[in-house]
Structure 1
Amino acid sequence: MRNHWQARYPNRPTDDGWAGTGYSPRTDLALEAHALAKRRQPSVPGVTEEHEELEDITISRVKVTSEAGEQAIGKKRGSYITLDIPGLRHKNPALQDRVVDQLEVEFGRLFRLRKHAKILIVGLGNANVTPDALGPKVVERLFVTRHLFGFMPQLKQQGYRTVAAIAPGVLGVTGIETSEVVKGVVEHVKPDVVIAIDALASLSLSRVNSTIQIADTGISPGSGIGNKRQALDEETLGCQVYAIGVPTVVDAATIANDAMELVLDTLRRSVPNNTATPLFDQFNGREKWQMIREVLEPMGNNLMVTPKEVDDFVDDVADVIARGLNLALHPAMAEADPPVAH
């Protein structure tokens, strides 16, 4: 069986890496990309990673510091903060409040905004497709102020920043590239900072609907599902661009691979001298994943999959992110209810 695989892929790498195979797991998370790179070498040059354990929340900070690091994990130079919150999958108001507070802290540390900075928030994705609707749903819940300052200029002195928000839709609905829409708005609004929010793809079922990533490197909409559009970053928009994302989908090959590993592990423990596990143990993780994807794709079955509870989850996590952003962008909101324009 292994010889058959070698004959079909004579140029495949001999290590456990993914680069150069023509196949790559679909992940937008720097933490997962770093984990893949560490399979090839325990210490990845130009990349550092540290962890912090809080109540029900694990915070991982990956920093890419050099070109070698960029090439090793396929992520731009910068900082990537990942909050793993398994309990986020369940409606737990107390936990959601703790996540909001932690997001306020992490946003404040990363954004480093001037007192009167002008911010444009971009909610990426398709509002009509629930797993892709995170960005538009966050935008709906933001406290935007740009239009208010003309009527209530005193807000600038009360701890509120100039915030505008847009949900530009997707190419398939509007016929306009997202980057074109955002560039046009940026040219008119002239923000100091752009914050882009999007649904992501993960390499792990355990991180779907339970992880939030924050980055200071911008974002490439759709990259995690193989539909990469022009990046929204400092180079294309001319200002600092931050990204916030939550993985809501994983591809079917990853699910099948995880299931196969669980079956094989059960066979190893419960069926002595079985013949299945030695056969598959000849292959490394990358090769197993490739074989499964090769079987699924010709039949059109390598789908992007999301949990059935995604409707409630996207609403809940959109509310959590919006609340965290509101507090981080408007310091006065931590002390009082927001003012209402009449």
Structure 2
Amino acid sequence: MSKEKFNFNIRTDLAIETREMVRKEQDIEVPGVKVTVEEQKEKKITVTWVEIINKEGEKQMGKPIGNYVTVESPLMKENDVEAHEEIIKILAKQLVKIKNLKEHEVILIVGLGNWNITPDALGPKVISKVFVTRHLLENVPKQIDASVRPVSAISPGVMGITGIETSEIIQGIVKKIKPDLVIAIDALASRKTSRVNTTIQIADTGVHPGSGVGNKRKGLNKETLGVPVIAIGVPTVVDAATLVNDTMNHLIEAMLQEATPSTNFYEMLNKLNEEEKYVLIKEVLNPYVGNLFVTPKEIDEVIDRLAYIIANALNIALHPGIDLKDINRYNN
């Protein structure tokens, strides 16, 4: 069975998880993929930079050549102001690193998702908190500090609300205002419950709107828009099959510890690979729950916290004259 099919069936939007699955399946480091990891143990923050460097890596990972950065911390979803401030600084640093912006470049920020559905409302929530400055620079340029870049922002909604493909809306805006960079924020899906609402991924390869709920639309990337696209996403849901699959893995591990190696049933369980288990579970669940996605019960508060983190990281990264003290002063 090809790795492309393997990666497609196991539901995740995170490059770090795809790399973990392929590496586990092959028992070697993924060819064509370079990985670096940084940890800040005090705040429990881990930064993993996955770089797909050639066609072999692209084939193995099932993702385009490019950079995928994940910032992980279990404190993201908690009400921990100090940890959030540190995460903001680290995220802003990674944003600057992944795209070295030139002075006065025009930025368009797009908040993808459905503001009526909380797990899918991350993009619109971020848009409500970013500093938009393009209109100020056009109308009162002398009063604005030179270190503030022209930034526009929009939350175009979803096709179920507008009747229009998100990519068509963004293409029209890009054609009119001619930004140098598009930054798209969207909800994602994870294959590990531990990464839901605790992981932010930045990618310089663009995004497929609706990917977090398994409803991929036409992509937003350099090929479709004609300008570079940075994607920022947070896994806010897992599908039911993934949740059961993880539970089954823990169950099998516990059962294997108690079973004798000669027992055929447990040998069979031990030989099942991730895809076989996932496909089996999905087939069993489908008649009863269909394409069900699961999100934590405290999702309302968590989405607000994540939107605050991402928006302020963008504010710092895009406007060199602004730091966290300025943001806190403005918010107060």
TM-score (structure 2 length as normaliser): 0.92
Query: What corresponds to 1:284 in structure 2?
Result: 273
Q: Contact 1:18 / 1:24 at 8 angstroms: preserved in 2?
A: no
- Give the Å deviation of 1:301: 3.8
Q: Contact 1:23 / 1:290 at 8 angstroms: preserved in 2?
A: no
The more displaced of 289-298 and 21-30 is 21-30
1:334 maps onto 2:320 in alignment: no
Q: Say if 1:18 and 1:46 are closer, same or farther in 2 by CA, change over 3 A.
A: closer
Q: Secondary structure at the match of 2:139?
A: coil
- Give the Å deviation of 1:23: 6.3
Q: Say if 1:329 and 1:178 are closer, same or farther in 2 by CA, change over 3 A.
A: same
1:58 maps onto 2:46 in alignment: yes
Query: What corresponds to 1:7 in structure 2?
Result: none
d(CA) in 2 for partners of 1:263, 1:51: 30
d(CA) in 2 for partners of 1:276, 1:309: 39
Q: Say if 1:219 and 1:23 are closer, same or farther in 2 by CA, change over 3 A.
A: closer
Q: Say if 1:220 and 1:266 are closer, same or farther in 2 by CA, change over 3 A.
A: same
- Give the Å deviation of 1:278: 3.5
Q: Contact 2:7 / 2:62 at 8 angstroms: preserved in 1?
A: no
- CA-based RMSD of the aligned residues comes to 2.1
- Give the Å deviation of 1:150: 3.1
d(CA) in 1 for partners of 2:73, 2:239: 21
Q: Secondary structure at the match of 1:149?
A: helix
Q: Say if 1:205 and 1:190 are closer, same or farther in 2 by CA, change over 3 A.
A: same
- Give the Å deviation of 1:113: 0.6
Alignment-mate amino acid for residue 75 of structure 1: K
Alignment-mate amino acid for residue 132 of structure 2: V
The more displaced of 17-26 and 242-251 is 17-26
Render the CA deviation track for 1:10-42: whole Å, top value 9, x for unaligned: xxx3xxx65446960111111111122213431
The more displaced of 255-264 and 193-202 is 255-264
In our comparison, the structure showing a higher alpha carbon Rg is 1
Q: Which one of the candidate residues 176, 181, 186 is aligned to 1:188?
A: 176
Q: Which one of the candidate residues 163, 169, 182 is aligned to 1:175?
A: 163
The more displaced of 44-53 and 239-248 is 44-53
- Give the Å deviation of 1:261: 1.9
Q: 1:143-222 to 2 correspondence within 5 Å? A: 143-154=131-142, 157-222=145-210
Q: Contact 1:160 / 1:330 at 8 angstroms: preserved in 2?
A: yes
Query: What corresponds to 2:308 in structure 1?
Result: 319
Q: Which one of the candidate residues 36, 51, 68 is aligned to 2:21?
A: 36
Query: What corresponds to 2:12 in structure 1?
Result: 27
- Give the Å deviation of 1:46: 1.5
Q: Say if 1:87 and 1:270 are closer, same or farther in 2 by CA, change over 3 A.
A: farther
d(CA) in 2 for partners of 1:335, 1:50: 27
- Give the Å deviation of 1:272: 6.5
1:308 maps onto 2:297 in alignment: yes
d(CA) in 1 for partners of 2:280, 2:3: 13
Which runs of 5 or more structure 2 residues have no equivalent in the other structure? none
1:49 maps onto 2:38 in alignment: no
Q: Say if 1:128 and 1:147 are closer, same or farther in 2 by CA, change over 3 A.
A: same
Larger relative helix fraction = 2
d(CA) in 1 for partners of 2:143, 2:324: 14
Render the CA deviation track for 1:186-223: whole Å, top value 9, x for unaligned: 11111001000000011111110100000111111123
d(CA) in 2 for partners of 1:57, 1:22: 27
TM-score (structure 1 length as normaliser): 0.89
Q: Say if 1:21 and 1:91 are closer, same or farther in 2 by CA, change over 3 A.
A: closer
Which runs of 5 or more structure 1 residues have no equivalent in the other structure? 1-12
Q: 1:249-288 to 2 correspondence within 5 Å? A: 249-269=237-257, 277-288=266-277
Q: Secondary structure at the match of 1:308?
A: coil
d(CA) in 2 for partners of 1:19, 1:104: 33
The more displaced of 103-112 and 134-143 is 103-112
